[in-house]
Structure 1
Amino acid sequence: MGTATDEVIQRLYEAPPDGFVAARTAAIEQARKAGDRATAKRLAALKKPTVAAWVVNLLALRRPELVEELAGLATALRDAQRGLDGEALRELTAQRRQVVSALVSAAGKLARAEEPGIKLPLAEVEATLTAAMAEPEIAAQVRTGRLIRAATYAGFGEVPRPRLRLVTDAPDEAEEEGDDAEVIELPQPSARERAADERRRREREQRKRELRRRLGSAQAAERRADEQLEKAENAERDAGHVVEDLDAELAELERRRTEAQAEVARRKQARRDAERAAAAARREVGDVQAALEDLEGDEPD
């Protein structure tokens, strides 16, 4: 039974890739607020899947029985290869194509239901499922539902070929002279055929070296890109925290501004009241002075 964190991770890899970073950031923040640093660190290490990887993840998470069917067919195909069963190989190879095609179709339906109108790289999905049939390690990765990129496989390898021999009609001589007299090897390839085979071998080796070189460069570029992505995500989170802090400061400043405006209004009203009181006092002083002058004027000399 999966943990709560496993369920969160499953939801991340089931959702369309466009929202992966935002959803992961929200999950990390939730874990941090809960004081669960281990979960936050685990979530921060998750990588955003490509669209093709997401489609395969949907298939593995929503229809795991189809992925298991694919794995069972892969086992049967490898057994047929080891047993040099040509008829079974032909039948299983045809079946493989049908099963992979059906799984690609099922995965496409799941993805379109989740994200209508999305452009799906179904060729990469097919290549990944084909690779899962050839490589148990890739199959195991597919089963997790947490692929981050599509996989490829050049082919299902070469089936070991038996050494062809022609049995003679001289059993007595075979008993006397041993196995070398019992069989006759088929004619050796001509010099031209050997040269062609050698040329093809050299070309394959050169191609392998070139592909390994490209793989090394691609892996190095991937590591650099992942590092840059991680730095960008960390910077994004830090910037988000700064914005949150500034929002909090702005809210506090706005509260203080509102209080200050109210205080200004109160002080203005107090000033007006004081002005009216002062005016009334001045009028009273004038009236009293005038009355006093009148009285003093009416007194006899």
Structure 2
Amino acid sequence: MSHACQSARYEAARAIALEAGRHALACFAQRERLVVEYKGVQDVVSIADREVEELVRARIAAQFPGDCFLGEESAGHALEATPGDASRALWIVDPIDGTSCFLHGMYAWCVSIAVVIDGEPVIGVVYDPNADELFHAEKNGGAWIDAPATNDDFARRALQVSDAASARDGVLGVGISHRVSSAPFLAFVERWLEQGGMFVRNGSGALMLAYTAAGRLIGYYEPHMHAWDAVAGIVLVTEAGGRTNAFLDDDGLARGNAVIAANPRIYGDLNADIAATAFLAA
């Protein structure tokens, strides 16, 4: 695929994320009225998730009808394309990452959109409607944030991962779900605390990966994430100068995988700590 075609998708992803996020924010203001379903333990979906995903799918289909689509709420119909080649351009979407926070009136949720072309993640967009912050990156184009400036206009700034040299130099983002055993995760947290580190879990892995790209967190670790939660943030982190594990290995697109992301100075130590607590081989 040509760079012009990739850039067209990058521009579209930013615009679609903004529209989707504003729709989600309107739903957030009326969240008490939303119909809610439970997909599993601590795994909820609302009518807002479905509406936002359908909005995103419709915009993509209108502009790029040959592209494929993988969304959290339609994962049972993953990799649909009409017409097209599933190996070419795949959009990966979480319409509201952090649905539990969304439904309980907390602000840790976002819209996450990634594009994988020829099997490689090349575009990542995470939009936080509550803060009106749009994190976005294109392969070899750097990572950026569009956010309100003091004059009520918007400013675009480059993102750069933290320069932390040890666990003591900042806060690590973490995530955990009932899809994995809690024992190794708790062992990792204990090990991290013993080194003088601190951690935070806010309920949205995509948003904490964006914070890692922005240098607000020194890294992020979760033993299992789905592709729609992870891929956009992985593009952001790598384009902001960070390191991540190879998420798409071992059929990560379909099955999910662990996510380890950090600046290059601490990535090796973080990975070693995780390996020592039996989550991931070094």
User: More strand by proportion, 1 or 2?
Assistant: 2
Per the normalisation by structure 1, the TM-score is 0.26
Larger Rg: 1
TM-score when normalising by structure 2: 0.27
Structure number having the greater helix percentage: 1
